[in-house]
Copies of this chain bind each other. A is one copy, B any other.
Amino acid sequence: MFFHRQELQFKSTPEKPDAVYARKLQEVLGGQYGEITVAMQYSFQAWNMHLPGKYRDLVFGIGAEEFGHVEMLATMISQLLEKSPLGVTEKAVQDDPTIAAIVGGTDVQQGIVAGAGARPVDSNGNPWTGAYVTASGNLLADFTANANAEMQGRLQVSRLYQMTDDPGIREMLSFLLARDTMHQNQWLRAIEELKADGLEELPVPGNFPQQKEHTASSYEYLNFSDGQQAGDGGWARGKSVDGKGEFSYHDGPTTSAPMPPPTHPDSRFYGTTELPNAVEKASGAVQDKLNRE
């Protein structure tokens, strides 16, 4: 169960409205790595988890915090839109290009659809989608997904920080940056702990019997491009990160197989094929049979 308190986790008030910035902020609200994504992702990880205890408590605990961040951003956006210019006409554009420019940079749906409000979309107006969420039941994979989400998130907030000089917006962003710092650290620590606890190991999934894979290819770096320096990295020689193999470098593939011949499905799929069609045409009997069906 979720309980709501009518307070924000941190002050979220701009010094002045800025409809262009309101659009940009949608990215970290409703984008691929916005707050809706992490709130939903951590929650679904909790609901799908097969393990009681500290890891489940962790995803529950952070998931609920992130829903509060969605709220901080939505609240900020509606304030940024408070003086959003509505009645802009061609004449206004001609008189004051600045206003026109602002209009060009705004999310017009924030006005037409939401009446100067926030929306569950990204900065280009793409609706948030459940396809952003990762919750596989394997915690080593999922916590890596989480670490990535917090990295991409903090990166985007950093960029947004530089796109405004409004002290009110920057103050709120400084808080989100700090929380992203925490959350990056936390997921990376949780990854270490999963391994230390003997629950997971590399390669993910650690409990798939590795002898079933084609082990000859498990630690080969195969260079399918002609970059001369791909072999200079630590991935081309030395002990592998999982400690189970030795990296080696190869120019191109080490295995190869002939392309299988084209398939010939049921002729009633009416694909283009050489022989069956020819046969059919030659064979009145076959055609007749088809016609009778």
A-B contact pairs, 24 of them (CB 8 A): A2-B4, A4-B63, A9-B256, A18-B90, A21-B90, A27-B108, A27-B113, A31-B109, A47-B71, A47-B78, A58-B227, A60-B224, A68-B253, A85-B266, A100-B104, A100-B105, A107-B124, A115-B271, A116-B266, A136-B152, A144-B147, A158-B208, A159-B268, A165-B293
Bound CA span A189–B93, Å: 43
- Interface size band for A: 35 or more
Q: Is A162 an interface residue (CB 8 A)?
A: yes
For chain A, residues 253 to 270, give those with C-beta under 8 angstroms from any C-beta of chain B: 253, 255-270
Instruction: Chain B residues near A207: list those with CB within 8 A.
Output: 267, 270, 277, 280-281
- Are B224's CB and A3's CB within 8 A? yes
Please name 8 further chain A to chain B contacts, defined as beta carbons within 8 Å, in addition to the given A7-B257, A137-B272, sorted by A numbering: A10-B257, A27-B108, A27-B113, A48-B115, A50-B272, A83-B265, A108-B123, A115-B137
**A19 CB to nearest chain B CB (Å):** 10
Instruction: Work out how many copies of this chain go into the complex.
Output: 6
Docked Cα-Cα span, A267 to B116, in Å, equals 10
- CB neighbours (8 Å) of A164 from chain B are 89
Q: How far is the CB of A195 from chain B (nearest CB, A)?
A: 11
Chain B's closest residue to A120 (CB) is B130
**With A93-B102, A257-B10 as given contacts, are A242 and B185 in contact (CB-CB < 8 Å)?**
yes
Query: What mask results when residues 126 to 148 of chain A are scored 1 for a CB within 8 Å of chain B, else 0?
Result: 11111111111111110011011
